[in-house]
Structure 1
Amino acid sequence: MQRLVSERLKSDWQSLVQEQHAPHLNIITSLVEQHSAELARYFYANMLSDDDASTFLSHDEVKQRLSKSLQRWLINLFQVPENYDLDATLQQQVKVGEVHARIKLPIHLVLRGARCLKKHFAELLQEQALDPATQVACFQLYSDLIDIAMELMSLAYTTSTEAGVRSEEIYRMYSIAQNSAAERERQKAALLNWENKLMFQHTFGSESGQPSALRLCEFGLWFHHKGAHAFADYKETKLIEQAITEIDSRLGFVLSEQQSPTEKLEALRFIRSQTQAIQFHLDELFTRSSEMDHGRDVLTHLLNRKFLPTVMMRQIAHARAHNSRFAAVIIDLDYFKSINDEFGHEAGDSVLQQVSQLLMSACRSSDFVFRMGGEEFLVVLVDIEEEAAFQVAEKLRKLVAKEKIHLPENKTTKVTASLGLTLYSGHPDYQVILREADKALYQAKNNGRNSTVIYSKELN
């Protein structure tokens, strides 16, 4: 905070809450305390009528909690008790600005909200039996404090956003670099596998009557959640996106009974030409990429926490844009300390490495696997619903429990894991998702470990 809050800003705030302003500050505080709910209602009524702002406020849980938070923020902003903590008040404004940056709330919407609060407070002042000079002085003081709060929030917002942009660019470069040769072959194989399944369905028929869309197969998921971001600057990325769209639009022709054999064959030839084009563009993308190894956990080679904000915010943006869901699974190895105590830290490292490989091999290439620190991992499952996410989590838990872990000196051991699972429910702040998964993990530990718990509001 010291870097953000200059001495001048601190001095300006201090001068506004000095004893000489106490009479006007008391009037403001009294009015805000009496009408905090009304101010909050006015604020949200105006913001929800704005298309841009409503995107961030339409979630019921957010509205309910933010209404109370806004009321508390207003009251705390103008209250100056005997034990007034100026630094804590300033830090609160910084924290709010950082949250706004984290959920990518545009700064112009924050300033618009401040304008709403000023406008309605002016209306409330006019209803009071106060002389004009007092009304003007109160409104000026109210506005000045809100303006300094906005200045602090904007400063924190800009600083956090710049850090996020740097992290996102580093992550983009890392995504390109991580074992690109193996990833290239893996995705080409996934694309070929989808094409072979389509040909098989066309030849022998399909129980479902419709082949799965390319965008929803392993290659499609990888491309939309990782590849498109890693190669965002290349023209081939757009060409692959267009080819996927074209292919999916023609799938109906392949198995439709209403189409003639000639039309079906023409559709298959078109799809074949597009998949070949995708393979060509994919080769071009990987050929033009360069090796980079930042942001990887040294021990396990998983993603580390550095890219967590970037990945989570991108998944939230994707879920909002496509009306989809994703899941977060926190995995914590049970009684890990006892392994270090009994076999030594080298053995503990070996356990972490083998469990990491197990998690990576069991997840889709489109999913994200992080080492959060110590013996804790995070898996982000993209484009998934609750039942399927729970099945994946249970599969991971059982695989860990079943695996024979090889230790130094030809020793072996077994470990179990507790898992906390939550699904994106519309909240714009990824920290809320992580807290939910953490609460579910805590419950799994309380249940006796080696179990998976899905987050519910009852765990709050």
Structure 2
Amino acid sequence: MHSITAVSSAIDTENPALVAAWQRGLTEAGPAATQVLAQLADTGAAEMAVHFYQVMLDDKRASRLLSHDQVRTRLQPAMQRWVRDLLLATPERVESLIAAQRVVGDVHARVGIPVDLVTRGMRVLKQRLFQLISEQAGHSEHAHAAVACLTASFDIALECMTLAYSNARERSSRTDAAYRLFSLVQNVGTERERQRALLLDWENTLLYALASQNETPEFQSLAGSEFGLWLTHKGIPSFGESSETQQICALMAAVDQTLHDTLDTKRDLKVRSAHLQEVRARVGQIRNLLGMLFERIGELDAGCDALTNLLNRRFLPTVLRREIELANKNKAGFAVLLLDLDHFKSINDQHGHEAGDRALQHIASMLSQFTRGSDYVFRYGGEEFVVVLVAVDERQALVIADGLCRRISDSPVLLADGQPLAITTSIGVALYDGHPDYERVMARADAAMYQAKKQGRNRIVLADDSLPEAPDRASLQNR
């Protein structure tokens, strides 16, 4: 909270000068120039939005961010409104316009739009608008005044966006760095032994498969194993990118390639044995590198919820940005489950806050116990929890969500006097749909969870585009 306040203060110190500069530019333009810009707002805003995205989609980086249908359908009307707002700017509306540019800058930072694309977009729009002014008003004095006014509005808007963007990116960088230090392995010794055991189990399963008489032994790739998923989705972002993590990834790829070659039915047992020795040597190297990485990690409590010992939502944006990046890179998917403990207020009112705390701890324990080591479990706030399921499709996500819902309802929490208290949860399930803004998948999970509540609680609902937004819900950063 302190960092957010600091960022807001940093922006606010720039406000008076920006407000004064924008108001001065609008006032000096005069009514004739203002009328030229107002006519452009009526006739050219829609064309500007189309022209902007046509130019942006020619860049591969922008195409990746803007190719999703939902992005286009949302952004094109939003761009049209943005152009109209700037063309119709008045001195009285400057402060609200500056606040709007801040929001745009924050969104750009969340999605990861490169700054040069934003400045290019501004340049493209200004050039086209200058042409329209020339066509409409020629080279008259008020046409020049309109160009000067338009230039000032666009430049100050860009300055506001850039300031918000840079502050948001700085804040994200600090959180990402804290996340790597904190790691997602709060108990280093336990997690180290757990991952060693998973690696050993995979190796033993492989040994049995390759030693069998089957011509085409069945075994799971190391990258697709529980250890491999943990390393990709949790280990690397926890340890940070380093030569050791790069070596482990290269060794895993080499192991899986060797195993792929071993599936050749022409291979005899001697060849399989030789391949097995090669694989075991590389797995041994992975084990040694993993030990080195764990030795560097200390136990930090920042980012951990004191009551449940789960992650708090501080690192949720970091995790979701990482999963979006992996999903786009690997053409895979992930899902977000938003869980809410049903009738939590009644539990506190009827049985006391200690019972409420016990219920929350019980759900946290169930979520940790019945999700995979590669998944993430957060206490989102109050009686809400978030689970990020990595590398899943819709069917897998629904099976896991349904299992969690049933296990919680079938497992009452024991109160201090030994009496059982039945508890249930409502769960919203949202699959990553390609939208680059992580707040979208959270909003969809939120809407689905709200519907689960509305439909009677103790159930799961899968998010789709037909669901209305959950009412009275703040954005992810402010919740």
TM more than 0.5: yes
Partner of 1:192: 200
Q: Tell me the CA shift for residue 32 of structure 1.
A: 2.5
Partner of 2:26: 17
Bigger Cα displacement from structure 2, 231-240 vs 154-163: 231-240
Determine whether 1:139 maps to 2:147.
Answer: yes
Q: Which amino acid aligns with 2:462?
A: I
Q: How does 1:305-384 map to 2 (within 5 A)?
A: 305-384=313-392
Partner of 1:445: 453
Partner of 1:4: 11
C-alpha distance in 2, partners of 1:188/1:206?
28
Residues 427 and 459 of structure 2 are in contact (CA less than 8 Å); yes or no, is this contact kept in structure 1?
A: yes
Q: Which amino acid aligns with 1:292?
A: L
C-alpha distance in 1, partners of 2:356/2:207?
47
Partner of 2:398: 390
Partner of 1:416: 424
Counterparts in 2 of 1:210 and 1:144: CA distance versus 1, 3 Å: farther
Counterparts in 2 of 1:20 and 1:148: CA distance versus 1, 3 Å: closer
Q: Which amino acid aligns with 1:258?
A: K
Give the counterpart of 1:60 among 56, 61, 69. Answer: 69
Counterparts in 2 of 1:417 and 1:22: CA distance versus 1, 3 Å: same
1:412-449 deviations in whole A, cap 9, x for unaligned? 21101110001111111111111000011111111111
Q: Which amino acid aligns with 2:419?
A: K
Q: Which amino acid aligns with 1:357?
A: S
Partner of 1:36: 45
Q: Which amino acid aligns with 2:120?
A: R
Determine whether 1:260 maps to 2:268.
Answer: yes
Counterparts in 2 of 1:352 and 1:254: CA distance versus 1, 3 Å: same
Residues 339 and 384 of structure 2 are in contact (CA less than 8 Å); yes or no, is this contact kept in structure 1?
A: yes
Residues 408 and 425 of structure 2 are in contact (CA less than 8 Å); yes or no, is this contact kept in structure 1?
A: yes
Q: Structure 1: which 5+ residue stretches go unaligned?
A: none
Q: Which amino acid aligns with 1:192?
A: L
Q: Tell me the CA shift for residue 404 of structure 1.
A: 2.4
Counterparts in 2 of 1:15 and 1:277: CA distance versus 1, 3 Å: same
Query: What SS class does the counterpart of residue 417 from structure 2 fall into?
Result: helix
Partner of 2:122: 114
Q: Tell me the CA shift for residue 253 of structure 1.
A: 3.1
Counterparts in 2 of 1:177 and 1:437: CA distance versus 1, 3 Å: closer
Residues 176 and 231 of structure 1 are in contact (CA less than 8 Å); yes or no, is this contact kept in structure 2?
A: no
Residues 202 and 225 of structure 2 are in contact (CA less than 8 Å); yes or no, is this contact kept in structure 1?
A: yes
Q: Tell me the CA shift for residue 3 of structure 1.
A: 3.6
Q: Tell me the CA shift for residue 234 of structure 1.
A: 4.0
Partner of 1:291: 299
Determine whether 1:125 maps to 2:133.
Answer: yes
Residues 177 and 293 of structure 1 are in contact (CA less than 8 Å); yes or no, is this contact kept in structure 2?
A: no
Q: Tell me the CA shift for residue 106 of structure 1.
A: 1.1
Q: Structure 2: which 5+ residue stretches go unaligned?
A: 1-7, 469-479
Q: How does 1:176-325 map to 2 (within 5 A)?
A: 178-204=186-212, 210-325=218-333
Bigger Cα displacement from structure 2, 126-135 vs 401-410: 126-135
Give the counterpart of 1:430 among 429, 438, 449. Answer: 438
Determine whether 1:169 maps to 2:203.
Answer: no
Alignment: residue pair count = 459
Query: What SS class does the counterpart of residue 459 from structure 1 fall into?
Result: coil
C-alpha distance in 1, partners of 2:30/2:328?
46
Residues 253 and 263 of structure 1 are in contact (CA less than 8 Å); yes or no, is this contact kept in structure 2?
A: no
Residues 428 and 446 of structure 2 are in contact (CA less than 8 Å); yes or no, is this contact kept in structure 1?
A: yes
Query: What SS class does the counterpart of residue 109 from structure 1 fall into?
Result: helix
Normalising by structure 2, we get a TM-score of 0.92
Residues 26 and 149 of structure 2 are in contact (CA less than 8 Å); yes or no, is this contact kept in structure 1?
A: no
1:312-344 deviations in whole A, cap 9, x for unaligned? 111111111111111000001111111111110
Q: Tell me the CA shift for residue 207 of structure 1.
A: 11
1:281-340 deviations in whole A, cap 9, x for unaligned? 111111222221110011001111111111111111111111111100000111111111
Partner of 2:35: 26
Residues 210 and 251 of structure 1 are in contact (CA less than 8 Å); yes or no, is this contact kept in structure 2?
A: no
Residues 234 and 285 of structure 1 are in contact (CA less than 8 Å); yes or no, is this contact kept in structure 2?
A: no
Runs of 4+ in 1 over 4 A off after TM superposition: 205-210
Query: What SS class does the counterpart of residue 458 from structure 1 fall into?
Result: coil
C-alpha distance in 1, partners of 2:368/2:345?
23
C-alpha distance in 1, partners of 2:100/2:442?
22
Counterparts in 2 of 1:291 and 1:155: CA distance versus 1, 3 Å: same
CA RMSD of aligned residues (A): 1.8
Residues 254 and 268 of structure 1 are in contact (CA less than 8 Å); yes or no, is this contact kept in structure 2?
A: no
Report % sequence identity: 39
